């Protein structure tokens, strides 16, 4: 299948969906109000000081430099997990390699909702992070503002070969890292790893995740991910069940944090859900502090019923 994408310019031919963005004159995309406020200052600094640009990329030797040698083996591991799918803890058991779709609404292919340089995420605030928004997700959050990403079939399939070309072009054009988010990229791990195995360039890999994957998936990702950005949304199982339709959530993310807490760069994001300051946000922060991990709190625009729920 041929992708209808201009691989000569990674900022062309984007499909943005309906989430809040700002499209800059150079084709880059900025998401979230904070980045809109500080971007002019950051871009002026980057223009005036090339040393600052280099300092923003804090990964000196991407894992991918050495991981390329074992990626074939890791890809085979993921394929085995997808035969009776155990990529995430929903463990829906469908054969995604044989055309069946999991709870995430995905088979074995990657469906991309958007791709572009973002300046507010990645290796450092203000550095261009080439970001790929993968459709599909394991959660069903009432407050989700990217609901269209759950309807995966409305987005075109992107073959790994095409993604690899886009990643290489982005690296050649000055991107400081490859940033995967969504939706949730976990469910698209097979085509993403395949694309990474085909790239000629190597950049740090940033993985922005809902963090509900199984330990087997984490073990594979640890071979290639340089910067982890887990979004931890709930601090107890009850709220997660009510708002995101996910069982045993808090136990799963605590276990997963323990599995990556010794990684060099882990930056956890906590959405500031109304009425969940005590039952969720407080407990999450206490747990992360006990693990000596950094975190930031994100303001969210609640859509639907999220703010109506109480523990």
Tell me, what's the pLDDT at 60?
A: 64
Predicted model pTM? 0.80
The yes-or-no verdict on residue 267 having pLDDT over 70 is: yes
The whole-number average pLDDT for the span 260-275 is 90
The whole-number average pLDDT for the span 7-30 is 40
SS (H, E, C) the chain: CCCCCCCCCCCCCCCCCCCCEEECCCCCEEECHHHHHHHHHHHHHHHHCHHHHHHHCCCCCCCHHHHCCCHHHHHHHHHHHHHCCCCECCCCCCCHHHCCCCCCCCCCCEEEEEEEEECCCCCCCCCCEEEEEECCCCCCCCCCCCHHHHCHHHCCEECHHHHHHHHHHHHHCCCCEEEEEECCHHHHHHHHHHHHHHCCCCCCEEEEECCCECHHHHHHHCCCCCEEEEECCCCCHHHHHHHHCCCCHHHHHHHHHHHHCCCCCEEEEEEECCCCHHHHHHHHHHHHHHCCCEEEEEECCCCCCHHHCCC
CATH of domain 21-308: 3.20.20.70
The whole-number average pLDDT for the span 134-159 is 82
154 token code pair: 């409305």
Tell me, what's the pLDDT at 108?
A: 95
The domain ranges of the chain are 21-308
The yes-or-no verdict on residue 4 having pLDDT over 90 is: no
Angle at alpha carbon of residue 287, lines to 285 and 290, rounded to 5°: 110
Residues 6 or more apart whose Cβ sits within 8 Å of residue 47: none
């Amino acid at each position: 299948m041929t992708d209808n994408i201009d691989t000569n310019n990674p900022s062309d031919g984007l499909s943005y969906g309906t989430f809040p963005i700002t499209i800059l004159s150079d084709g880059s995309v900025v998401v979230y109000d904070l980045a809109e406020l500080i971007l002019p200052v950051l871009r002026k600094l980057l223009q005036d000081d090339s040393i600052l640009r280099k300092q923003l990329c804090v990964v000196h030797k991407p894992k991918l430099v050495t991981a390329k040698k074992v990626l074939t083996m890791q890809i085979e591991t993921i394929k085995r997990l997808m035969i009776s799918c155990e990529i995430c803890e929903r463990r829906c058991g469908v054969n995604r390699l044989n055309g069946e779709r999991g709870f995430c609404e995905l088979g074995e292919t990657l469906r991309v909702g958007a791709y572009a340089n973002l300046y507010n995420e990645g290796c450092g605030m203000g550095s261009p992070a080439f970001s790929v928004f993968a459709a599909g997700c394991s959660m069903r959050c009432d407050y989700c503002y990217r609901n269209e990403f759950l309807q995966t079939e409305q987005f075109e399939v992107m073959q790994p070969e095409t993604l690899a070309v886009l990643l290489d072009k982005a690296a050649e054009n000055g991107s400081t890292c490859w940033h995967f988010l969504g939706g949730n990229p976990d469910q698209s791990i097979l085509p993403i790893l395949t694309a990474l195995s085909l790239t000629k360039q190597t950049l740090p890999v940033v993985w922005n995740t809902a963090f509900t994957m199984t330990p087997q998936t984490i073990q594979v990702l640890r071979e290639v991910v340089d910067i982890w950005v887990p979004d931890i949304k709930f601090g107890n199982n009850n709220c997660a069940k009510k708002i995101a339709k996910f069982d045993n959530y808090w136990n799963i993310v605590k276990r997963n944090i323990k599995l990556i807490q010794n990684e060099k760069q882990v930056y956890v994001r906590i959405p500031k859900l109304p009425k969940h300051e005590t039952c969720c946000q407080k407990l999450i922060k206490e747990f992360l502090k006990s693990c000596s991990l950094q975190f930031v709190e994100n303001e969210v625009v609640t859509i639907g019923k999220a703010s109506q729920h109480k523990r």
